[in-house]
Chains A and B, each alone.
Chain A
Amino acid sequence: MKRRKTIFSVLVYLLLSLGAVFYLLPLYWMVRSSLLPMAQIFRMPPIWIPNPPQFGNYSQALRILPFGRYLGNTLTILIPTMVGTLLTSSISAYAFARIEWPGRDIWFGLIITGMMLPYAVTLIPTFLGWKLLGAYGSYYPLIVPSWFGGGAFNIFMLRQFYMTIPHELDEAAYMDGAGHLRIYFFILLPLIKSALIVVGLFTFIRVWNDFLGPLVYLKTEKQFTLAIGLQQFVGQYTAQWHLLMAASTLVALPTVTIYLIGQRYFVEGIALTGLKG
């Protein structure tokens, strides 16, 4: 019986390690290809460890892909989106979790149901609306929506967090004459810090990786974000795999790094969103 258990657990490790190799391989292949000279990239059998690594590929990719400007553009969208999302989702979630008001549950239900609506349905009228306002070709369409609740998903998640905090805390503050804004800001917000980090991290990844939004709303190459800039780059340098892989690595590096740093919070956040069923 004991032996069978050992064999079983060896099998589990084996399967997991094999899976891990397959999951890491594409990323390894990307980095490897980004460090090979063009001539070696097609050599058979394939070279696994670049020797010497061609860091020059990166400087060449950076010369073609204006990384600095695209990064600046991405941050121009990212920072206000982050602030808007954190502020308005936490304040709205507070209203849904901690205040009793008529119509609350209906509105909450509507907002959550709205999450099921395919974005295909709202995409075109929203685009036409922004065009009508003359904001097509600006960053506003990509930023402003985050200042209106920051997404149903985040409101739902933060509400879950608020609900775990005992009501005595706000009642005591209320008796002392504190208003809702003060209770929200000074008492509850510090208590849901870890949830706010989760929202912040997810927002970072979402905006950094967003592809369709910038594709639809940005007109000129000058305004491009990293994601859309890379897409352009792929179209122009089709067969130059060493450069394409260097550029892909550069664009992927920040999100992977952010994830590895904030891993604990990611897992916490995903766990919460998945348990709603």
Chain B
Amino acid sequence: MHATPVVRRGRSTFMRRNARAGYLLAAPAILGFLIFTMVPMVASFVLSFTDYQIINTPSFVGWRNYRELFDGTDSLFFKSLKATNYFVFLSVPLNTIFAFMLASLLNRPIRARGFFRAIYYIPSVVPVVAVTTIWMWLLNPDLGLINVTLRKIGLPTNKWIFSEPTVIPSLALMDLWATGNIVVIYLSGLQGVGTHYYEAVEVDGGNAWHKFWNITVPMMTPTIFFNVIMGFINGFQSFAQAFMMTQGGPNNASLFYMFYLYREAFTFSKMGRACAIAWILFLIIGVLTAVIFRTSKYWVFYEGSDER
């Protein structure tokens, strides 16, 4: 009986040692979170209510930054929202469907799968500055490969990134080219779908379409869910295309939100207003993510749970 306290004391020193070691070894990550996420987040919120422009001492202006964005004092705000929304709601569905199709093809029992996978992934590792330069050349209205080809086969050419109605679709097309990492994520998901499900469909006399629609798609919904959310988060923060290729033009038709924010902050030094712009983006992404999460119970299927 008297052995118990000894054991307990041993156990508690063990736990205390672990607690110390745990905090010590996790310290870089915890400090990093506090210094580079938590503190800037709070600071950004506070700054968004000030008129800070670097040269002045910031003073509180209440909701003015937000009000000026919404009441049309800065007409570019709504333009940038429109351009970004157009891009995101075009490119995320396109990317999702296209990458999923490509991954499904790659998942067939084919030879040279690794070879094809490598080819589709390569554009994703090309530096974005190089990607935009290549596409500026391909999309060049006079001499770019795309218009030259269209002209040769007798189709109407286009001004692509230099024309208001086509600039966003052009950038979405370019985005499809670098979709390789999403393809690889889908492919690895597809390879995790148990073959016994497909066998069950075969026993029931189902064909390839039944397999795809009743097994593959439902089993892949968690992966699709993940990719759609990440696609929205990344899409809303697209920057390089506007900065490198279009400068937000023509006529602000590609004024990406992040580019607009960058310009307010680093060209015009309007730090307070830029923080307000950032927080609105945060809210938009937050609401969108919440909506996707809320609807997920109707369309995301988790293996091993009976309830959906």
Contact = CB atoms under 8 A, between A and B. Distances in A.
Interface stretch (B61-69, B126-134, B163-171): B126-134
Most buried by A among B25, B102, B116, B239: B25
Interface stretch (A53-61, A110-118, A192-200): A110-118
A117 B185 contact: no
A184 interface: yes
A97 B258 CA distance: 36
B119 A270 contact: no
A236 to B, nearest CB: 13
Contacts of A129: 39-40, 43
A27 B28 contact: no
Contacts of B44: 121-122, 124-125
B30 interface: yes
B125 A234 contact: no
Query: Which 4 residue pairs are nearest across A and B when measured between Cβ atoms?
Result: A148-B32, A101-B22, A274-B185, A277-B226
Contacts of A120: 237, 258, 261, 277-278, 281-282
A263 B120 CA distance: 12
B88 interface: no
Please classify how large the interface on chain B is, using the bins under 10, 10 to 19, 20 to 34, 35 or more: 35 or more
B291 to A, nearest CB: 14
B157 interface: no
B188 A259 contact: no
A27 B33 contact: no
Contacts of A15: 105
Nearest to B284: A118
Interface string A245-272: 1001101100110111001001100110
B134 A99 contact: no
Contacts of B47: 124-125, 128
A275 interface: yes
Interface stretch (B75-83, B137-145, B194-202, B210-218): B137-145
Nearest to B136: A234
Given A46-B145, A114-B37, A124-B265, A148 B29 contact: yes
A161 B236 CA distance: 31
Given A29-B145, A88-B28, A211-B240, A256 B125 contact: yes
Interface of B: 15, 18-19, 21-33, 35-41, 43-44, 47, 102, 105-106, 108, 110, 114, 116-123, 125-130, 133-138, 143, 145, 148, 152, 177, 180-181, 184-186, 188-189, 192, 208, 222-223, 225-227, 233, 236-237, 239-240, 243-244, 258, 261-262, 265-266, 271, 274-275, 277-279, 281-282, 285, 289
B189 A275 contact: yes
Contact of B26 (A27, A96, A216): A96
Given A95-B21, A267-B117, A270-B181, A23 B29 contact: no
A215 B266 CA distance: 10
A15 to B, nearest CB: 6
B223 A209 contact: no
User: What is the predominant secondary structure among interface residues of chain A facing chain B?
Assistant: helix
B266 A155 contact: no
A77 interface: no
Please classify how large the interface on chain A is, using the bins under 10, 10 to 19, 20 to 34, 35 or more: 35 or more
Interface in A33-83: 33, 41-42, 44-46
Given A111-B29, A125-B43, A16 B129 contact: no
B236 A118 contact: yes
Contact of B152 (A45, A103, A181, A212): A45
A265 to B, nearest CB: 12
B32 A16 contact: no
A271 B184 CA distance: 7
A20 B125 CA distance: 16
Interface string A78-105: 0000000000110110111001111110
